[in-house]
Structure 1
Amino acid sequence: MNGPELTPAPRIAVIGGTPATLRKVRAAGFEIVWVYGPQELDPTGLAHVAEAYLTDYREPAAVAELLATVHRSRPLVRVVSIIEDGLEPAAAATTRLGLPGNGLDLVQVLQDKLAFRTLLAERGVDAVAARIGHTAEDIRAFVAEHGPTVIKPRYGSGSLGVRFVEDLAAVDEAGTWAAGFGLHSFLMEQFLSGTEISVETFSYAGRHVVLAFTAKEKLASFVEVGHAQPAPLEDATARRVEDLVFAMLDTVGLADGPAHTEVILTAQGPRLVESHSRRGGDRITDLVKEVYGIDIDALAFLWYAGRTDPVRPGEPSCGASIRFLTAEPGVVASVEGLDAVLADPAVVDASVSVAPGDTVVPIAWSYDRCGLVLARGRDGRDAAERASALAARIAIRTAPAETGPPARTLATIAARPDRLVGAAPDPGPDPGPDPGPGVGPGASPDPGPGAGPGAAE
């Protein structure tokens, strides 16, 4: 006598990601079709997947065609990616196959900074002056009309190619820099003055929830060197930020899954910078897990599998902060202090990504940082102070290079074999396997639409 027929596991295509991510996908009950780049492949991930396709997954049309063939053989229920490079290919396949999830129109609006600004202005959500420029004269005309200005690539992230133009006197220098850097077409935006935060959200069938507000610290180059949670926001400010971000998510049509949105708290109120249809990089997910007990990736796959109800964060259990390491440009002579920092009870993780003989370059984007310290504290401020003090105990000493650093342009950065310009770096390693299908001890069931965002001051 035959036993009961087993129901096959739903099949999901995952573009990019790490073995730790794949374990979370499997824990949610999926059979995995993995699409990955041959040069980036971690072979240990193959143990977690039913099928693997090694290809340049940054070609959306090709990925959509590949997965259409896979889908015809054995249907997929979703196509997802949690990395910036994989978002558009996943969206192209989602649209091509008519599957639930973020479609191509949504992802392209979020990745195209001009389209994002234009749509929000047309819908009356947040009007920030922006247009495309090519020359110093274009910058001059924009600054004359709108005052202090930021120029940056129309596509891309990681703070690559971002420049502040304070006034008309700074235009010629900015134009010369843009031409030398290879930024021959750029977005000019009205500069928003104020404190920057990011808003980590999760959307459940169109109902949005704030998981965390993240405080940030940036260099003059706009590269981020610190994050802390919970950000110290007054309740009224938190509500205004929440309202703005939710209106933006409704406008672009993001209904399911995580989003990471950058906001400036100006004197006139919160204003949007940009948003992404993924969780935040820079180990922000680790902060959310430390402070609120929620693993955003695990939550996403459980939600896609229909195995969890909507979840909201409870009260923060602690503060947490990450501080990125920097060093003087040159050749690394020595690295000291890491072991002592790792032994500190406040430290969750610390690492250095350079070693003696490596070259440290001037920081132009997130991948130029030299390591990190992630620490706990009583609250976000205390954690940020601890992380900063601990980072200062790690000494990365450099000596001048025999020759000056080569000129760095968009083209030379794009020549890296594992990264294309436009990729949003997530410089930290994956936080590791999820302990199980739950989303963490600090999470509480969603109490309903009237509840607040859950982030404390």
Structure 2
Amino acid sequence: MTVDSRREERPRLIVMFEEGAVTPAEIMLSLTDWAEVILVVGTSPYSAAAKPFLGEIAEMITWDQPRAELLDHLRRWRPDGIVTYAERMLLPTAEVAAELGLLFHSTPTANLLRDKYQQRKRFAEAGVQRTRSASLNGVDQWRDVADHVGFPLVLKPRLGEGSQYTHLVHSVEEGEALLRDLSKSYSGVLVAEEFIAGKKRLPFGDYVSVESCVVDGRIKHLEITGKFPILPPFREQGHFWPAPVSDLERGEILDLTQRALVALDISTGLTHTEVKLTADGPRLIEVNGRIGGQINELAIRACGTDLIAAGARMALGLNTDDLVLKPNKTYFQYHNLPPLQARKLTGVRGAAAAKAVTGVTSYEIYLHPPAPLERGVMTTWIDVVRGEARDHDEMLAILDEANGLLSFAYETPSGQLDMPAMWTQQRTTSAP
């Protein structure tokens, strides 16, 4: 039975849930007022911890059960659509969608979105962009791989997210030592790819993301998202709209993104494409087949547009022609991150003062001391400073003031460490 023939009923939506770009609370706020939701929950420790709350939101079943039983349960539930907002659930969602005849990325496309090595190959084959890369199963292959790719190179999981286990490598010896160390905690396949050097654009980052929606193969680019500088090795500090790019750059960025989405044969859904801004023009970092992390909060605050709900409406085949993002001011999210040597966050000072700064609309602490910090080089946000400004210069002034009031205490292997916000250190040591 279709949605149109059930005019008196709410559409029925499968949400494949895992740790990712959308939280359980956001699912509740964005979806459950207008759709019947069933949650298919993954197996990570994050999902296990979230189950009590998820069970309060909607009917819930688990992914780790015999596939035939899962599909039979979902067929009897009579879904109208299926969606995921989590990177690691892209392929499972594609497989379930194919079995149930629902709109989503095809299985081959989902594979390309998940597997960054295969994604690079597809871009090369389609004439979109050639990036030297090689798959790597262990240290025995390292010297051949390094010889093929060249230095500097980026070493990362073929199936990864959140910059986890991602490193910049400058030599054969450095790579060998890194691979031996990684083998203690990571057993998956890696990919080595050439490092794409960005053009220095301080105090902004040298990359952007493009938020797009695709309906029946028709691509609409919603907005280009500006970024703050990356912290080593590849840790993101936040986002803002609009991006500080010229009209010429904007056209080149959107053209490159368009060709990438076509090459991946994306037919339905939201995408988040990361693009490096180089001296020779924009170059692809990667395409993600779901909403970007924190982007929905920015869209709601800047434009009154709920992208989580919009992604669900696309999955249900409902009208999304009016989906537009046009911020009329500069809106931002900035996150403080710990130093890499920190093992525990033991204190946050200045939160009330930072929240009171004119232009700061909210300040939220994600990690409440004492909080362990055992995630290596993965992006781990301590907090978020949200705000709005007339333009980029005023945004920078607001962040200067707010972050100048914040300081953090950490426990490290060498003892206690007290330090100001990373933002403050960057602004005092780097010229724009």
Q: 1:175 offset after TM fit, Å?
A: 1.6
Q: Is the 8 A contact 1:224 1:366 kept in 2?
A: yes
Q: 1:13 offset after TM fit, Å?
A: 1.0
Distance in structure 1 (CA, Å) of the matches to 2:234 and 2:325: 32
CA offset digits 1:376-411 (Å, max 9, x no partner): 12234542552354234221123555889xxxxxxx
Q: Could you tell me which runs of 5 or more consecutive residues in structure 2 were left unpaired when the two chains were aligned.
A: 1-5, 18-22, 199-205, 417-432
Q: 1:231 offset after TM fit, Å?
A: 1.0
Letter in 2 for 1:235: D
User: Corresponding residue for 2:350?
Assistant: 337
Is 1:39 the equivalent of 2:44? no
Q: CA 1:100–1:63 in 2, change beyond 3 Å: closer, same or farther? A: farther
> Normalization by structure 1: what TM-score?
0.77
Q: 1:144 offset after TM fit, Å?
A: 6.7
User: Corresponding residue for 2:279?
Assistant: 267
User: Corresponding residue for 1:197?
Assistant: 208
Q: Secondary structure at the match of 2:299?
A: helix
Distance in structure 2 (CA, Å) of the matches to 1:32 and 1:141: 46
Q: CA 1:333–1:114 in 2, change beyond 3 Å: closer, same or farther? A: closer
Q: CA 1:304–1:140 in 2, change beyond 3 Å: closer, same or farther? A: closer
User: Corresponding residue for 1:12?
Assistant: 13
Q: Could you tell me which runs of 5 or more consecutive residues in structure 1 were left unpaired when the two chains were aligned.
A: 405-457
Q: Is the 8 A contact 1:143 1:149 kept in 2?
A: no
Q: 1:189 offset after TM fit, Å?
A: 0.6
User: Corresponding residue for 1:408?
Assistant: none
Letter in 1 for 2:328: S
Q: Is the 8 A contact 2:134 2:145 kept in 1?
A: no
Q: 1:176 offset after TM fit, Å?
A: 0.3
Q: Is the 8 A contact 2:149 2:192 kept in 1?
A: no
User: Corresponding residue for 1:52?
Assistant: 60
Letter in 1 for 2:177: T
Letter in 1 for 2:41: Y
Structure 1's consecutive aligned runs of 4 or more residues displaced over 6 angstroms after TM superposition are none
User: Corresponding residue for 1:173?
Assistant: 174
Distance in structure 2 (CA, Å) of the matches to 1:349 and 1:18: 20
User: Corresponding residue for 2:328?
Assistant: 317
CA offset digits 1:239-267 (Å, max 9, x no partner): 11111111111121212221111111122
1:239 to 243, 251, 265: 251
Is 1:154 the equivalent of 2:158? yes
CA offset digits 1:211-248 (Å, max 9, x no partner): 22122221121111232221111111111111111111
Is 1:258 the equivalent of 2:258? no
Q: CA 1:348–1:43 in 2, change beyond 3 Å: closer, same or farther? A: farther
Distance in structure 1 (CA, Å) of the matches to 2:348 and 2:236: 22
Q: 1:352 offset after TM fit, Å?
A: 2.3
**Correspondence list, 1:269-288, <5 A:** 269-281=281-293, 283-288=294-299
Deviates more, 1:294-303 or 1:261-270: 294-303
1:86 to 76, 85, 89: 89
Q: CA 1:399–1:10 in 2, change beyond 3 Å: closer, same or farther? A: closer
Q: 1:309 offset after TM fit, Å?
A: 3.7
Q: Is the 8 A contact 1:321 1:384 kept in 2?
A: no
Q: Is the 8 A contact 2:332 2:386 kept in 1?
A: yes
Distance in structure 2 (CA, Å) of the matches to 1:153 and 1:334: 32
Q: Secondary structure at the match of 1:325?
A: coil
> Normalization by structure 2: what TM-score?
0.81
Q: Is the 8 A contact 2:13 2:316 kept in 1?
A: no
Q: Secondary structure at the match of 2:298?
A: helix
**Correspondence list, 1:14-163, <5 A:** 14-16=15-17, 18-27=24-33, 29-36=34-41, 39-41=48-50, 43-49=52-58, 51-53=59-61, 55=62, 57=63, 62=65, 65-133=68-136, 134-135=138-139, 138-139=142-143, 142-143=146-147, 146-163=150-167
CA offset digits 1:180-237 (Å, max 9, x no partner): 1225642111111112111111112222122221222211211112322211111111
Letter in 1 for 2:40: V
Distance in structure 2 (CA, Å) of the matches to 1:330 and 1:9: 47
Q: Percent identity?
A: 24
Q: Is the 8 A contact 1:110 1:116 kept in 2?
A: yes
Deviates more, 1:352-361 or 1:202-211: 352-361
Q: Secondary structure at the match of 1:106?
A: helix
Q: CA 1:178–1:95 in 2, change beyond 3 Å: closer, same or farther? A: same
In the alignment of these two chains, the number of paired residues is 388
Q: Secondary structure at the match of 1:35?
A: strand
Q: Is the 8 A contact 1:214 1:227 kept in 2?
A: yes
Deviates more, 1:77-86 or 1:350-359: 350-359
Letter in 2 for 1:239: G
CA offset digits 1:19-69 (Å, max 9, x no partner): 431342234x432222225623354544553x321x2x3x5xx57534421
Q: Is the 8 A contact 1:129 1:190 kept in 2?
A: yes
Distance in structure 1 (CA, Å) of the matches to 2:48 and 2:320: 38
